[in-house]
Amino acid sequence: MRVKRLSPAAFTPRRAAAVLAACVLTLTNTAGAFAQTAGSFRAELAVRADRPRGTINKNIYGHFAEHLGRLVYGGLWVGEGSNIPNTRGLRNDVLAALKRLNVPVLRWPGGCFADEYHWRDGVGPRGQRPRRPNASWGGVDTNAFGTHEFMDLCELLGAEPYVNGNLGSGTPQEMMEWIEYMTSDSDSTLANLRRQNGREKPWRVPYFAVGNESWGCGGEMRPEFYADEYRRYATFVKSHSGNQIQKLAVGSQSDYYEWTEVLMSRAAKQMDGLSLHYYTLPTGDWGKKGSATEFGERDWHATLVRTLRVEEFIEKHSAIMDKYDPQKKVGLMVDEWGTWYDPAPGRDTGALYQQNSLRDAVVAGINLNIFNNHSDRVRMANIAQVVNVLQAMVLTDGERMLLTPTYHVFEMYKVHQGATLIPVELTAPEYRLGQSSVPALQASASRDASGALHLSIVNLDPNRAAQVSMKVDGATPRNITGRVLTAQAVNAVNTFERPEAVRPAPFTNFKAEGGATTLSLPSKSVVVLELR
């Protein structure tokens, strides 16, 4: 996406009016409260259907399930004997909700947990599986949910499995044997053990990661050491029986560029993907991250400033990758991203359970637009995490379940999966607070196999609606439909008592004007349009 900032040189009478409206109608407010202003700003948007780029990898819409808090146990897995309706132990309500998202890929079993997980604990008769302390996140893991249960979940969802191996506390042999157990169709002892445990045919495992955050919870390694370890372990990650396994290396977090430089210079030939982790904290301070629901305009703005930084990280890591891999064979896998807040008072700090508000929906829309626009290098992204942990799709409480505002964004954006990226050019004012500013609008677009164009636009401004003059180059759409996600309050949430307080509504606020269409986007909203 190209965003043009309005500069004096670019002034036309119309743009001058836009800036004037922006200045007059927004009261600068650096304190907590939101500016109580109505009004709108103007913007221009060109959808460049005449300049299609590559494909948006469907895996950008991927998810992540770690043994953490109430994600696996309670959120996905309730066991066959549960009163909660389930399919072979997996709760039906969550399955049905996730199926509607077309989950393309699911990462498991961690996260930090991956580097303490030993796969043999989670296969064989459930009653005989060992109970192990979850050293990363607390509690005891019964291992009731293991390889077979995860693969069953993936098959029920139609998602591709992304298995994260244990480099931190496991051996290359253990890693190699797990892959053989899962994917070999031979008459080997491990393939036969899988059959004995109930699965005749091997599974497809297209993605396998060699460790997780090896610079941190995965072993506190230096990049040089990890690069050597990666090469050693990756040698034993084999493709069996026609399963083409992609090997993913641990990448950096945020701006740890030295890690990327060392990994790419020493191991690019041995990898298919390199990860990137980036979490959005309203304050940027891990000691006091900020509340999920109690925030003012300063936190809203700071959250958006911080989440937009992912674009800078993608661009700079990609530039390093380009030096060693100009043909872009190695994918950048943003396999952990999302908001991370302080736990609500009284909540278990290790469980990472948090509410999810309209602000999270806006964050999700922004990130997905950025990933779409960088899909030449970004081949996968996995929001953290799918149920009951961090920026979740669904929250559960016993037998109750709700869909979060972030869920709705994923559901609205699923049209981009596997579609052709269409560039967009935006001319929009800034949403400014104090000395800091972000673009007021942010967007991406695609064209699907049927020829329909899909445009997703986020209005980051919590106070002003946007009047967007849209034109489409290279196509003449005759029909526009769309949906909008917004709410009265910036911190509106869905609760078990009011599970549909934030949900998408039809978007009809547009009209044709000459060669252009004017869209009226509400403040703090996410809109997805289909143009045919």
Residue 66 near residue 113, CB atoms below 8 Å: yes
- The nearest distance, CB 66 to ligand AHR, in angstroms, is 5
Residue 84 near residue 126, CB atoms below 8 Å: no
| 243 counts as binding ligand AHR under rule CB under 6 A | no
* Those residues with Cβ within 8 angstroms of residue 501's Cβ, 6 or more apart along the chain or in another chain: 487, 492, 493, 494, 495
| 112 counts as binding ligand AHR under rule CB under 6 A | yes
Task: Assess whether 213 carries a catalytic annotation.
Answer: yes
Name the CA dihedral angle for 493, 496, 501, 504, rounded to a multiple of 10 degrees. Answer: 90
Q: Out of 75, 104, 109, 111, name the contact with ligand AHR by CB under 6 A.
A: 111
Nearest Cα to 360, choosing from 529, 527, 526?
526
Nearer to ligand AHR, 134 or 420 (CB): 134
* Those residues with Cβ within 8 angstroms of residue 488's Cβ, 6 or more apart along the chain or in another chain: none
For 244, counting Cβ atoms within 10 Å of its Cβ (0-12 exposed, 13-18 middle, 19+ buried), the class is exposed
Question: What 8-state DSSP symbol labels residue 296?
Answer: -
Nearer to ligand AHR, 336 or 461 (CB): 336
User: Of 66, 336, 411, 430, which one is the catalytic site residue?
Assistant: 336
Instruction: Give the binding-site size for ligand AHR (rule: CB under 6 A).
Output: 10
User: Of 213, 229, 297, 311, which one is the catalytic site residue?
Assistant: 213
- The nearest distance, CB 385 to ligand AHR, in angstroms, is 6
| 115 counts as binding ligand AHR under rule CB under 6 A | no
Interacting span for ligand AHR (CB under 6 A) from 104-112, 158-166, 177-185, 502-510: 104-112
- The nearest distance, CB 222 to ligand AHR, in angstroms, is 18
- The nearest distance, CB 165 to ligand AHR, in angstroms, is 14
| 66 counts as binding ligand AHR under rule CB under 6 A | yes
- The nearest distance, CB 360 to ligand AHR, in angstroms, is 15
Q: Out of 75, 104, 110, 165, name the contact with ligand AHR by CB under 6 A.
A: 110
Residue 145 near residue 75, CB atoms below 8 Å: no
Nearer to ligand AHR, 69 or 504 (CB): 69
Residue 266 near residue 324, CB atoms below 8 Å: no
Nearer to ligand AHR, 202 or 290 (CB): 290
Nearer to ligand AHR, 61 or 203 (CB): 61
Query: Which residues are bridge partners to 432 per DSSP?
Result: 437
Q: Which tokens belong to 446?
A: 């695609």
Task: Assess whether 513 carries a catalytic annotation.
Answer: no
Stretch (H or E) spanning 43: strand 40-48
Interatomic CA distance for residues 40 and 17, integer angstroms: 11
| 168 counts as binding ligand AHR under rule CB under 6 A | no
Stretch (H or E) spanning 192: helix 189-196
Query: Position of tokens 């606020």?
Result: 509
CA 360-361-365 angle, to 5 degrees, is 115
Task: Write the interaction track for ligand AHR spanning residues 21-60; mark x where CB under 6 A is met and - where it is not.
Answer: ----------------------------------------
CA 470 to chain centroid: 28
What Rg value do the Cα atoms of the chain yield, rounded?
Answer: 23
Nearest Cα to 185, choosing from 126, 244, 240?
240
* Strand 378-383 to 331-339 pairing: parallel
Q: Which tokens belong to 178?
A: 């797990």
Peptide bond into 346 cis (omega under 30): no
Nearer to ligand AHR, 108 or 300 (CB): 108
Nearer to ligand AHR, 34 or 113 (CB): 113
Query: Which residues are bridge partners to 444 per DSSP?
Result: 456
Nearer to ligand AHR, 168 or 522 (CB): 168
| 342 counts as binding ligand AHR under rule CB under 6 A | no
Nearer to ligand AHR, 241 or 349 (CB): 349
CA 176-180-185 angle, to 5 degrees, is 160
Q: Going along 202-289, which residue ranges are E strands?
A: 207-210, 246-253, 273-280
Nearer to ligand AHR, 354 or 491 (CB): 354
Nearest Cα to 357, choosing from 522, 488, 506?
488
Residue 355 near residue 296, CB atoms below 8 Å: no
Query: Position of tokens 């934030």?
Result: 502
Q: Out of 149, 180, 213, 360, name the contact with ligand AHR by CB under 6 A.
A: 213
Interacting span for ligand AHR (CB under 6 A) from 83-91, 106-114, 288-296, 353-361: 106-114
Q: Out of 212, 280, 355, 456, name the contact with ligand AHR by CB under 6 A.
A: 212
Residue 385 near residue 62, CB atoms below 8 Å: no
Residue with nearest beta carbon to ligand AHR: 111
| 336 counts as binding ligand AHR under rule CB under 6 A | yes
| 274 counts as binding ligand AHR under rule CB under 6 A | no
Name the CA dihedral angle for 76, 77, 81, 86, rounded to a multiple of 10 degrees. Answer: 30
- The nearest distance, CB 179 to ligand AHR, in angstroms, is 21
Instruction: Name residues contacting ligand AHR, limited to 366-425 (CB under 6 A).
Output: 384-385, 390
Residues near ligand AHR (CB under 6 A): 66, 110-112, 212-213, 336, 384-385, 390
By annotation, the residues acting in catalysis are: 213, 336
